[in-house]
Chain A
């Protein structure tokens, strides 16, 4: 049996800001996007959450809910720096650490020495006289002191607090970390998981959004327990592969491995999005933003060594209605001109002229450049490849702002 811990930093961005500027502590605080534009809240401390301030909420709405809110502009480099410090702490406990996001990680604790003792005990081979087979709960219980040590070590190194969930797999560990926050520590066996979550609404499941909740409700599925008992064939019929995944989630079944940081988690897509200063309905201005975003995505793909085939565009209008459309290309590429051309076509086919507040571009279906079996477009366009290499080389040396496409300046 595996023992997986999910480490989730408490209100991470807001806590980093409080740590660096202690005068912010104890007051409602939110970290938002560019304060000169209409960004959204990316993290709120617990004082702000009491007023209903949540991540994903527009800055203006957060200030309406909590007029005393302090809104600080986010700084990704700052958070990445602290995130790497936390990764160093986690690596002291086990090499099997999978960074899941900037403020979350999964740990396979089976390699931690004290758990090994418990495992030896489970085989009846030497932890005390008469040690017999242990229940799954015993193994998870053995992980609790390790998790406490992890929480203390993170606090010592960074002055920040973390919540930890423990379970027999990644899904249960992730759900367990949501049971009690901040500074929580919850261990759930599969039976505990079912007892705790089955009476709750399906929206409590990680990965189920509002649209899926409504679709499930139409099938008469309201609770997680009902989802777990729903015939698999029906779910597959209605939701395809996601139907299987949802049922596994409800049952607390997950055979996904903890992929250690040194193996790297395969990247599935790369994208950038941008909230506009004000709603924009000018095709020319939207095109300029698409060009800039396409440029950023292509550059990042080349820097990280990826080629991709599926281009997506994301449009959010002033009423927060979001449209995502994608198109598969017949070849692999990481050229911003092709990303721009495809995203522009998608825009023209799917945009009815309504004012937009957010635009995004992404490329998926990624594979590492070195693993590409089919030729990329660059293999047939040497001149373009050399030009892009020259631009990349200048940006590598002088920074991304050194060269900007004229069309992106509108």
Chain B
């Protein structure tokens, strides 16, 4: 974990953003010319994706990095990235209730 920011949101809890760069395993569907992550495994935990809320691309030289914003079925929010040259997935950001 590189850094974390906590912000008090409610009396009985808080939301927490973490920027991380953990490798993950992802099950992906390829449909209509697009990638759609279905679920991923992070730290021995399987996260089922309820909705892909956004996606975008970043170019690093000739390499394309695909980013996905995801809502899990427990309503936690994740951002993951796929490095098309290395063919690896990483979890980059997590947003969960603490």
A contact set with B: CB distance below 8 Å:
16, 19-23, 27, 35-36, 67-73, 75, 77-78, 80-82, 395-402
Is there an interface contact between B54 and A398, defined as CB atoms closer than 8 Å? no
- Residue-by-residue, is B1-34 near A (CB-CB < 8 Å gives 1, otherwise 0)? 0010101110000010101000000000000000
Q: How far is the CB of B68 from chain A (nearest CB, A)?
A: 10
A395 in contact with B61 given A27-B9, A71-B7 (CB within 8 Å): yes
- Residue-by-residue, is B58-75 near A (CB-CB < 8 Å gives 1, otherwise 0)? 101111000101010001
Is there an interface contact between A20 and B5, defined as CB atoms closer than 8 Å? no
Closest to B2 in A: A36
A402 in contact with B61 given A77-B67, A78-B54, A78-B67 (CB within 8 Å): yes
Cβ of B75: which chain A residues have Cβ within 8 Å of it? 23
Q: How far is the CB of A401 from chain B (nearest CB, A)?
A: 8
Is there an interface contact between A77 and B56, defined as CB atoms closer than 8 Å? yes
Given contacts A398-B63, A401-B60, 19 further A-B pairs with CB under 8 A are A16-B54, A20-B69, A20-B77, A21-B71, A22-B71, A70-B9, A71-B5, A73-B19, A77-B57, A77-B58, A77-B67, A78-B54, A78-B69, A80-B56, A81-B57, A82-B56, A395-B61, A397-B62, A398-B60
Q: How far is the CB of A41 from chain B (nearest CB, A)?
A: 14
Is there an interface contact between B56 and A81, defined as CB atoms closer than 8 Å? yes
Cβ of B40: which chain A residues have Cβ within 8 Å of it? none
- In this complex, how many residues of chain B approach chain A with their Cβ under 8 Å: the count is 24
Q: How far is the CB of A358 from chain B (nearest CB, A)?
A: 22
Q: How far is the CB of A11 from chain B (nearest CB, A)?
A: 16
Is there an interface contact between A23 and B95, defined as CB atoms closer than 8 Å? yes
B contact set with A: CB distance below 8 Å:
3, 5, 7-9, 15, 17, 19, 53-58, 60-63, 67, 69, 71, 75, 77, 95
A386 to B69, CA, bound (A): 42
Closest to B53 in A: A20
Q: How far is the CB of B4 from chain A (nearest CB, A)?
A: 10
Closest to A84 in B: B56
Cβ of A82: which chain B residues have Cβ within 8 Å of it? 54, 56
A67 to B7, CA, bound (A): 8
Is there an interface contact between B9 and A68, defined as CB atoms closer than 8 Å? yes
Is there an interface contact between B5 and A78, defined as CB atoms closer than 8 Å? no
Q: How far is the CB of A237 from chain B (nearest CB, A)?
A: 50
A78 to B63, CA, bound (A): 17
Cβ of B67: which chain A residues have Cβ within 8 Å of it? 77-78
Cβ of A19: which chain B residues have Cβ within 8 Å of it? 53-54
Cβ of B95: which chain A residues have Cβ within 8 Å of it? 21, 23
Q: How far is the CB of B38 from chain A (nearest CB, A)?
A: 18
A21 in contact with B57 given A67-B8, A68-B7 (CB within 8 Å): no
- Across the interface, B7 reaches (CB within 8 A) one of A70, A396, A397, A398, namely A70
Is there an interface contact between B5 and A23, defined as CB atoms closer than 8 Å? no
A234 to B63, CA, bound (A): 57
Q: How far is the CB of A28 from chain B (nearest CB, A)?
A: 10
